Structure 1
Amino acid sequence: MTLVVRPEQPSDVAAIESLTTAAFLDAPHTSHTEQHIVNALRRAGQLTVSLVAEDGSTIVGHVAVSPVAISGGRNDTEHWYGLGPISVAPARQREGIGSRLMEAALAELRRLGAAGCVLLGDPHYYGRFGFRSEPRLVLPGVPPEYFQALALQGGLPSGIVSYHRAFEAQAPAP
């Protein structure tokens, strides 16, 4: 496997959409709108980090990172991002592609000077990267153990986290 992780290019958009659809097709706890979320973030100019994992000429993974808002408005609530969705082709899962994408996304956030990152996901998987459930950070309507944070510099803020309205995206009307 010659895996290359690189920034998304305009010519990758259709492949990312297909990959994301396939990756979440049989996933539990999803509304199957992840591909629409990525597209809506891109259209809104809110896709801060968009990386693909490419094996040869085939895109086998993707990760999206976008800004989040944290109530409180203090300095420690600025420069926080939400990671996700992260997608790996079903036939290529459990090969370390997701881990490579996570590490690359976190490295890019550090390069950008991000204060921290939040995500919604399996605590056992994301704990490997330093993410922890933090009672001071809340995503309403979500079991707290699945909403996790990682401070990249400084401390953890307190407040209610809001994702961009692109996360409300649905399938376009036919």
Structure 2
Amino acid sequence: MEIRPEKPEDVEAVRSVNVAAFGRENEANLVDRLRGIASTFSFVAVQSDRIVGHIFFSLVAVEGKCSSNLSVLGLAPVAVLPNYQRQGIGTLLIREGLKECARSGFEAVVVLGDPDFYSRFGFVPASSKNLGCEYDVPDEAFMVLELESGALQDCSGTVKYRSEFRMCE
């Protein structure tokens, strides 16, 4: 299994993975809208020369009381082809993606997802770090991971996603 950055020739395969994984086009359309924007990361999982998984990170803003140079990413979406799910590919994509985000100097990552799954990577409820989500979501499902210890120590506010996310509602 190889995890690598998405290449221009991967666009259609990435779209297919997202549509198949979610059973709809919303997430694939979101990735298409976000692709190429500064401070985004897109990685693919390749097995036997076939793209079987995808993960995407994009910059989010924190409105409130935070350091003006705080850099936070949102993880969304992560997708694996149905026939390849439950084989650790999503876990590998998340682990490698988070490493690359940290290497690139980002200080935290937020995610909206299953608390049981994401807590395995160190994510905690964002509310425990004084962060809320702009969307009306269950508190335990909106989570954050500090890539740099203490990055959110003096921070409080509301996480705002890029406008492209509102087109998916």
TM-score (norm 2): 0.90
1:96 has 2:91 as partner: no
Aligned pair in 2 of structure 1 residues 138, 83: CA closer, same or farther (>3 Å)?
same
1:80 has 2:72 as partner: yes
Distance (whole Å) between structure 2 residues aligned to residue 84 and residue 144 of structure 1: 17
Identity of aligned residues (%): 41
> What are the ranges of 5 or more consecutive residues in structure 1 without an aligned counterpart?
26-30
Aligned length: 163
State which of 1, 26, 32 in structure 2 corresponds to 1:33. Answer: 26
Runs of 4+ in 1 over 4 A off after TM superposition: none
Q: Is contact 2:65–2:156 with CA below 8 Å preserved after alignment?
A: no
CA displacement at 1:57 relative to structure 2:
1.3
CA displacement at 1:110 relative to structure 2:
0.7
Matched residue, 2:114: 122
Matched residue, 1:4: 2
> What are the ranges of 5 or more consecutive residues in structure 2 without an aligned counterpart?
none
RMSD: 1.8
State which of 134, 144, 148 in structure 1 corresponds to 2:139. Answer: 144
State which of 8, 11, 14 in structure 2 corresponds to 1:13. Answer: 11
Matched residue, 2:151: 155
Matched residue, 1:57: 49
TM-score (norm 1): 0.88
Aligned pair in 2 of structure 1 residues 70, 114: CA closer, same or farther (>3 Å)?
same
CA displacement at 1:159 relative to structure 2:
0.7
